[in-house]
Amino acid sequence: MTKAETLRALHREPEVLVLPNAWDCASARIFEELGFPAIATTSAGVSFSLGYPDGQHIPAKEMLAAVSRIARCVDVPVTADLEGGYGDIAETAAALIESGAVGLNLEDILGHGPESLASIDEQVSRIAAVRRTGDVVINARTDVLLMKIGDEATRFLRATERLKAYRDAGADCLFIPGIATEDLIARFVDALQFPINVLAVAGTPPVARLKALGVARVSVGSGMMRSAMGHTRRIAEALKKSGRFEEMIEGSVPFVEANALF
C-alpha cells in the first residue's frame, strides 16, 4: 500500500491509532524508533520551535518546510497539522503532497476568534478541494466545542452537524478537540458512527478505555513539546541556581545514540 493507504487503514484497525506529535526531526525519529506506526506533527510545537505563537501566525512556507524535513527523516506515514489551511487550501494540499506527508488536520477556524469560523458549506468545499488534489488522509477538525458558544447541548448539536457534513464531504477521520469525559466521547462516537480523533489533555481516559469507548485515533497535540519545554526550563533553573550539571546529564540520550538516529 501507499503511505496514504497505510495511514487510512490504521484508522480502521481494532487498536486505537496512537499518534505522538513531532515538532522537529529529532522528536520524529525518536517516535519512529519506539515503533509508532505513524507520526503527526503539532502546529503549535512547530510554530513555537520557529519563533511564532500558535494560531495561524506562522507563514505557510515555513510550516510546510518543517513538515517536509520531518517527512524526509522517517519512513512511517506523516500527517501534518496545517491549522486552517493557510489561505488557498488546494495550493496548501498540493504543497503537503510535495513535502512527502500523506495526511493533514484541517480546522474550520480560518483566522482568530469565533467570527472566523467557516460556514459549513465553506468548509465542505475546502475538504472537497483537498480530496480533489490527491490521495491525502483528511482529519477534519471542528473548534465549536473549544469556542464555548452556547450551552453544552447546543455545542454538541452544532459540532455533530458540522462533523457529519465533513464526513460526507470526504473526510477520513473527525477531530473534536475539547472532549475528555467518557460520557461526551461516547455520545460523539454514537452520533457519528465514524472514526474520531480525541486530543489527549488532562482528564482524558487512557488508551485502553478510549478503545472500549470506540475511539479510532488519539493524538497529543503540543503536549510532548511543551513537556520538553518544561524539562528544559527545570534543567536551566537548576544550572542557574546550583551551577551543577546533574539535571542535564540524568536521563539524556547519549550522544552516540542521538547521532545514530540520523
Question: What's the domain count of the chain?
Answer: 1
* Structural domain contains residue 248: no
User: Rg of the Cα trace of the chain?
Assistant: 19
Note whether residue 167 is domain-resident.
Answer: yes
Residue written as grid cell 475511539: 215
- 24: in domain: yes
Beta strands in 118-159 (DSSP E): 137-141
In a domain, 257, yes or no: no
What cell was used for 236?
536551566
Within-domain flag for 209 = yes
* CA neighbor of 221 nearest in space, from 40, 33, 26: 40
Q: What is the pLDDT of residue 37?
A: 98
Residue 239 within a domain? no
CATH value at residue 80: 3.20.20.60
pTM of the full structure: 0.95
Domain enclosing residue 145, as ranges: 3-223
**Structure confidence at residue 119 as a pLDDT band (50, 70, 90):** very high
What mean pLDDT is predicted for residues 163-191? 97
Per the listing, cell 506527508 goes with 101
Per-residue model confidence (pLDDT) at position 132? 96
256 in a structural domain? no
Confidence of residue 149 (pLDDT cuts 50, 70, 90): confident
Q: pLDDT tens digits, residue range 188-216?
A: 999 999 999 999 999 999 999 999 999 99
User: How much of the chain exceeds pLDDT 70, in percent?
Assistant: 100
* Helix axes 152-169 and 182-192, enclosed angle (nearest 10): 40
The Cα–Cα gap between 181 and 204 comes to: 7
pLDDT band at 148 (very low <50, low <70, confident <90, very high): confident
